[in-house]
Amino acid sequence: MDLQSETIEKIDKLVPRYPTMKSAALPLCHLVQEDQGYLSKEAMEWIADRLDLQPINIMELVTFYPMLRTEPTGRHHIRVCRTLPCALAGAYQTCKKLEEAFNCKVGHTSADGEVTLEYVECHADCGKAPVVMVGEDEYTNITPESAEEFATKLKNGAL
Amino acid sequence: MEHQQHRLIFKHIDEPGYTNDIDCYIKHGGYEQLKKAVTMKPEDICAEVLESGVRGRGGAGFPAGMKWKFLDRKSGKPIYLVCNCDESEPGTFKDREIVHQDPHQLIEGMMCSAFAIQAKLAFIYIRGEFFQGYKILERAIEEAREKNLLGDNILGSGYSCDIIVHRGAGAYICGEETGLIESIEGNRANPRIKPPYFPAALGLYQCPTIVNNVETLCDVKHIIEMGGKGFSEIGTPGNTGTRIWCVSGHVQKPGYYEFPCSAVTLGELIYDVCGGLKPGRKLKAVIPGGSSAKILRADERFTGKLKDGTEFDWGIEDIPMDFDSLMAVGSMSGSGGVIVMDDTTDMVEALANINYFYAHESCGQCTPCREGVPWMRKVTQRMVDGNAREEDADLLKNIADQIAGRTICAFGEAASWPVQSFIAKFKDEFVEKAREQAARRKDGKEAATETTLI
């Protein structure tokens, strides 16, 4: 496993703070995923080994928590909230516009590897619906009318 | 009519010039209550919280002081405090603002609470999608540590407690307190059965644990400031303090609005505070307490008796926004998420959307929920896809009735209540959907029409 020294440092600082090693499993999944982009079989085995656990103890978390991934995403990871308040504000139409703009079906990664487009559940910002996340950043009021402009800005690195 | 907000928890939210660093917080009187708290007897703080009558702001509305009273202090095991910042009930968006804009208010409320219950260690369980919020909290905790407001020997009191910020990873069930505890322990978030696993007795690491919502813990700071009695004078008896109503959906001005409990009616909230509906639209339905809450139909009459014996006869607009009134009309104030739907809303699609959510979020532990909730999703999906049957409404109700009350945690109810209430109040639309599709098919047309909500 080739982790950045900063990640190792964070992990070494974090593990002893918890009363049990196993409690650090989910935080370590986050840190390793942030470092590697996803959690490979090798990564899960590494985390298990670091915490004196069995690989299954990590794999059962990865298959339970939706944010943990076993495959890399495209360069931009776009998450469109589709839960009721966002849907009432047009989230499904917003997503259709994004599908067209990036030539990528929702639930997939575009052929050029530029974007992964996903539906996600409520992100707790329903007052500014529809909500779209790109990587770790949140964008609000991405209506069907403004979705195209949003996509153009993202493509041009102007977000 | 103007309705003046009474901002207690959200006092500094969106205030120009107010920043989320510790200097700004202290300049505005921050951490004075923690200084006061550590000079008090822990049991006296607990008594103030009990007297305040503050009810949990996360959904169930259980009195926080009572929850604290159940804490097993005699076991000799360490006590833990957990802040539930999973904020995942659709329609709710208040904790996000506290974390982003006023994180020290939460930390102060938590440290006051931790001292009161004599917790050894505290956790903030923050949902994974709050990437910025996580960083803000981590920084705020370091700032507080530097000033000896948490960590070892807090303000020279001899009391020590640290806060660990623990990130979730996209699972709604982690908002359920025993699922949350499982998640902190490094497991899948499968909720535990109660009894025996009441967190106050057998919680985190099988030790006595208190799990409270972000807003509830912030309330504790204000209870110390104004005293339990002072706090209880806000709102009405049994419905004390303020609540932050998060309004979304078809209103002109969606957003968060803080009022004393009972200070506004649902009608005042929608029409006066949120600027009403879009021009030409009529109110069709409201989900008043997050997507699990039972839906209210705009033309219903609500009659009955309140807990104190007062009789009521309300239209939807007359319902006072508080715990007991919303319970009396058959729904709940839940997490404070008010989802408004106007007359353009297709109720079958709206339910299909909600069912999709719960089917996605069932943890899979209990058979009725694991099998039943995706089944309800399949039925409503089939209905919007053009294969609706007249008997689908009854089928949906039948499935929901067999889930509610038959699961380890309240998720079974959370997933069933929308189905039961949509069918009870809008059955005609579910039957009509099947008839319309049959008619279109007969005319040689595509049975399904374009959907907007699923």
Residues of chain B with pLDDT under 50: none
**In this structure, how many other beta carbons lie within 10 angstroms of the beta carbon of residue A35?**
17
Q: pLDDT by residue (tens digit) across B400-446?
A: 999 999 999 999 999 999 999 999 999 999 999 999 999 999 999 99
Q: Which residue of A has its CA nearest to B363?
A: A64
A17, A25, A125: residue with CB nearest B186: A25
- Is there a contact between A66 and B170 if contact means CB atoms under 8 Å apart? yes
Query: What confidence score (pLDDT) does residue B308 get?
Result: 85
Average confidence score pLDDT of chain A: 97
C-alpha of A127 from chain center: 22
Q: Which secondary structure element, helix H or strand E, spans residue B421, and what is its range?
A: helix B411-442
Domains defined for chain A, CATH in brackets: 5-62 (1.10.10), 76-155 (3.40.30.10)
A87, A127, A136: residue with CB nearest B93: A127
Pairing of strands B209-213, B162-167: unpaired
> Quick one: tokens of A106?
């929702």
The verdict on whether omega for the bond into residue B368 sits within 30 degrees of 0, i.e. cis, is: no
Query: What confidence score (pLDDT) does residue B1 get?
Result: 56
Q: Which chain A residues contact residue B288 at CB under 8 A? A: none
Q: Which chain B residues contact residue A26 at CB under 8 A? A: 166-169, 183, 186
CA separation, residue B60 to residues B105, B125, B422 (Å): 23, 18, 21
Environment class of B428 (CB within 10 Å of its CB; exposed 0-12, middle 13-18, buried 19+):
exposed
Q: What is the predicted ipTM?
A: 0.97
- Is there a contact between A125 and B96 if contact means CB atoms under 8 Å apart? yes
Q: Which chain A residues contact residue B256 at CB under 8 A? A: 127
**Domain regions of chain B by residue span:** 22-233, 243-342, 347-442
Query: What confidence score (pLDDT) does residue B339 get?
Result: 98
**Do B178 and B206 meet the contact criterion of CB atoms below 8 Å apart?**
no
Amino acid identity of residue B257, one-letter, is: Y
Q: Which chain B residues contact residue A60 at CB under 8 A? A: 187-188
- Is there a contact between A92 and B453 if contact means CB atoms under 8 Å apart? yes
| CATH code of the domain made up of B347-442 | 1.20.1440.230
SS3 assignment, position A80: strand
| CATH code of the domain made up of B22-233 | 3.40.50.11540
> Quick one: tokens of B356?
């999709």
Query: What confidence score (pLDDT) does residue A1 get?
Result: 85
Distance CA B346, CA B109 (A): 42
Residue length of chain B: 454
CATH topology of domain B243-342: Ubiquitin-like (UB roll) (3.10.20)
Q: pLDDT by residue (tens digit) across B195-242?
A: 999 999 999 999 999 999 999 999 999 999 999 999 999 999 999 999
The DSSP annotation for B51-103 comes to HHT-B-SSSS--BHHHHHHT---SS-S--EEEEEE---STT--SHHHHHHH-H
Q: pLDDT by residue (tens digit) across A86-140?
A: 999 999 999 999 999 999 999 999 999 999 999 999 999 999 999 999 999 999 9
Q: What is the pTM of this model?
A: 0.96
- Is there a contact between B168 and A85 if contact means CB atoms under 8 Å apart? no
Q: Which residue of B has its CA nearest to A27?
A: B167
The verdict on whether omega for the bond into residue A66 sits within 30 degrees of 0, i.e. cis, is: no
SS3 assignment, position A71: coil
Q: Which chain A residues contact residue B356 at CB under 8 A? A: 82
Beta partners for residue B55, in sequence order: B63
Environment class of A25 (CB within 10 Å of its CB; exposed 0-12, middle 13-18, buried 19+):
buried
**Do B288 and B333 meet the contact criterion of CB atoms below 8 Å apart?**
yes
Q: Give the torsion through C-alpha atoms of B283, B287, B288, B289, to 10 deg.
A: -160
Query: What confidence score (pLDDT) does residue B130 get?
Result: 96
- Is there a contact between A92 and B452 if contact means CB atoms under 8 Å apart? yes
Closest chain B C-alpha to A111 CA, distance in angstroms: 26
- Is there a contact between B170 and A20 if contact means CB atoms under 8 Å apart? no
Closest chain B C-alpha to A86 CA, distance in angstroms: 8
- Is there a contact between A88 and B250 if contact means CB atoms under 8 Å apart? yes
